[in-house]
Amino acid sequence: MKTARKELEKTTGENIKTGKTPVRYQEMWWTIESNLTEKNIIEKNIIEKNIIEKNIIEKNIIEKNIIEKNIIEKNIIEKNIIEKNVIEKNVIEKNVKKKDMEKKGMGKMKNMIVLENLSKNYGVKKAVDDINLTVKEGEMLSLLGVNGAGKSTTIKMLSCLTKPSGGTAKIDGRDVVKERDRVKEIVGISTQDTAIARNLTVEENLSFMAGIYLDPKAFDKKKREERVEEILRDFKLEEVRRTKSGKLSGGWQRRLSIAMAMIGNPKVLLLDEPTLGLDVLARRELWREIEKIKKNRTIILTTHYMEEAEALSDRIAIMIKGKIIMTGTLGELEEKTGQKGLENVFVSVVEGEEKHE
């Protein structure tokens, strides 16, 4: 009523007292009041319609999100199944390859890496405790163990970054202590802490390493540049070649680190926790790169990822508290422990060691 009176006052220009509408304005009053009622009903209907439409939209969005979530989960499950099948296929192929090698007499290939009673002490702590290990030419061995097992220390001794406290380590017959320079000529290393120059671009890092590891007598400037281009292409680094290395993601930095280790085309490649800290997709991508460089090269890879050791290696050495406890193919380790799968094998070996302490 109050609103109708105001509308009437606005229309007539007169001050209409409450409850005292002049007769001459009664018809106009009723018209205004009727219009206001219709207007309120229309506005109410519009509000209700908007609420209904909003609820429908929200419902559709929720349903769409549920469908998309289900699709994503389905894709992840399918991808995991595919990756599991790939790992199992790789293991089968490795076992077939090993049997073929044995049949052809290739199992007698020379030992590229030989460790005899190798040890490293830090004060009273034995980081590496009198280990013995051989790795054949062209073989990839995974050194598997938890953090602090002595894996990285072993790699540092093999790459001449630290001197053994005892025992010997020879690579292609070259002693890591007595013939350090000759060892470095044939060994490439990708360290756990990703030793790249963060202020240099990807291309500059590779060029720097080419200048160090490529013999200037055999590789002039043009050939060094060609080698850098080859590595950029092989490791799919072309798209980030001019990017400062410090701005790369963890996965790209790891890939660059391995590419730098490969610049001199080494006979022996040491990969210390190459996928540490990477998400599952970046890790799988790096596996594919490692698979490509395995041919005709001896590789030691340290890792605490069971599936990594299972997917990539020809043989596995389990290292616990500085000692190598067991070595063999996955099949051999399963046979020795009576367990199925590398994770079960590893847990069985660790628990067995704890019981003997």
Q: What's the CA gap between 273 and 150, in Å, rounded?
A: 12
Residue 28 CA to its chain's centroid (Å): 79
Highest mean pLDDT of the ranges 24-33, 169-178, 339-348: 169-178
Both tokens of 66, joined, read: 């549920």
Residue 279 pLDDT > 50: yes
Residue 224 CA to its chain's centroid (Å): 30
pLDDT value of position 325: 93
Of 243, 143, 265, the closest CA to residue 196 belongs to 243
pLDDT value of position 101: 55
pLDDT (tens digit, 9 = 90+) per residue, 86-107? 666 666 666 666 555 554 444 5
Percent share of the chain, pLDDT over 90: 36
- Lowest-pLDDT choice from 124-138, 179-193, 282-296: 282-296
pLDDT (tens digit, 9 = 90+) per residue, 266-278? 999 999 888 887 8
Residue 267 CB neighbour total at 10 angstroms: 17
Q: What's the CA gap between 347 and 357, in Å, rounded?
A: 16
Of 219, 199, 200, the closest CA to residue 211 belongs to 219
Of 164, 153, 119, the closest CA to residue 302 belongs to 153
Q: What is the pLDDT averaged over residues 201-209? A: 92
- DSSP class of residue 357 equals -
Q: What's the CA gap between 25 and 248, in Å, rounded?
A: 81
Rounded to 5 degrees, what angle do the CA atoms 250, 254, 260 make? 145
* Band of residue 244 on the pLDDT scale cut at 50, 70, 90: very high
pLDDT value of position 196: 85
Q: What is the pLDDT averaged over residues 193-209? A: 87
Both tokens of 172, joined, read: 């292609």
pLDDT value of position 357: 58
- The larger pLDDT score, comparing residue 251 to residue 172, is at 172
Three state DSSP letters for 180-227: HHHHHCCEEEECCCCCCCCCCEHHHHHHHHHHHHCCCCCCCHHHHHHH
Q: Give the predicted TM-score (pTM) of the model.
A: 0.68
pLDDT (tens digit, 9 = 90+) per residue, 26-36? 556 566 666 66
Mean pLDDT of the chain: 83
Tell me what percent of the chain is helix, strand and coil, each rounded to the nearest 5: 55, 20, 25
15 burial level (CB within 10 Å; 0-12, 13-18, 19+):
exposed
* 313, 140 Cβ separation under 8 angstroms: yes
347 burial level (CB within 10 Å; 0-12, 13-18, 19+):
middle
CATH of 127-356, one of 3.40.50.720, 3.40.50.300, 1.20.810.10, 3.40.630.10: 3.40.50.300
Residue 6 pLDDT > 50: yes
CA-atom Rg of the chain in angstroms: 36
* Band of residue 51 on the pLDDT scale cut at 50, 70, 90: confident
pLDDT value of position 270: 94
What does the DSSP assignment read for 62-108?
HHHHHHHHHHHHHHHHHHHHHHHHHHHHHHHHHHHHHHHHHHTTGGG
